[in-house]
Amino acid sequence: MFNDRSSAELESHFAALARSAAAGGSSATALATLLHIGDEHLVVLSGSGATPDTVRRIELGRARIARDFFHHDPPTSREIERAIDFVEDEIMRLGKPAEDGTTLWVTGLDMRAWAAIPGRTVPIETVEQWFQRLAAALRGQPGSIPAGREAAATLLILREFMHHLGYPAITVADAARTQD
């Protein structure tokens, strides 16, 4: 698929982000997680330093959620609820919540659809506000949300990942900023 990257590509991206963080003054041994929301899969790399200690891949991606659960644009409340149940179950398969102080980097082009992100760090409160905008649109209230079922799926996956695994913020990983 277009946005499903190989584990090797993501490990290289993880290493580049770790080098960039270290060059910016972050501890080289700081815990970090790279979340890649692909079209068909979600890949999670975690560790300290430039090499991830774990790489986990689950059958959960934005196109998959849009195709299997969202039959309307924007999705209906019932479609969102069914997708949330599925996404929660899949995310819980990843295991224990994040340790305090773990940085969460996120890749996936659809993140930019939700907001012009000032800087690169987005707190969970902002992600919740985005989700409330989506919920308001489902109730027919005016407001701007990105068009497309995949944008809604990306937001839902991100929100549930952060909520259930305890990440207080995300840092949007821009490949252009981290390549040598």
Give the rounded percent of residues in the chain with a pLDDT score beyond 90: 39
Rounded Cα distance between 49 and 58, Å, is 24
Per-residue exposure over 55-82, b if at least 16 CB sit within 10 Å of its own CB, e if not? beeeebbbbbbbeebbeeebbeeebbeb
> What is the structure's pLDDT at 145?
73
For the cut 80, the answer to whether the pLDDT of residue 155 exceeds it is yes
How does pLDDT run across 87-128, given as a tens digit for each residue?
999 999 998 888 888 889 887 655 556 655 556 788 999 889
Spell out the domains of the chain, with CATH numbers in brackets: 7-178 (3.30.420.150)
> What is the structure's pLDDT at 179?
35
Mean pLDDT of the chain: 83
Rounded Cα distance between 135 and 133, Å, is 5
The residue with greater pLDDT, 165 or 143, is 165
> What is the structure's pLDDT at 14?
84
- What is the sign, positive or negative, of the torsion defined by CA atoms of 117, 4, 1, 42? negative
Q: Match 């069914």 to its residue by tokens.
A: 82
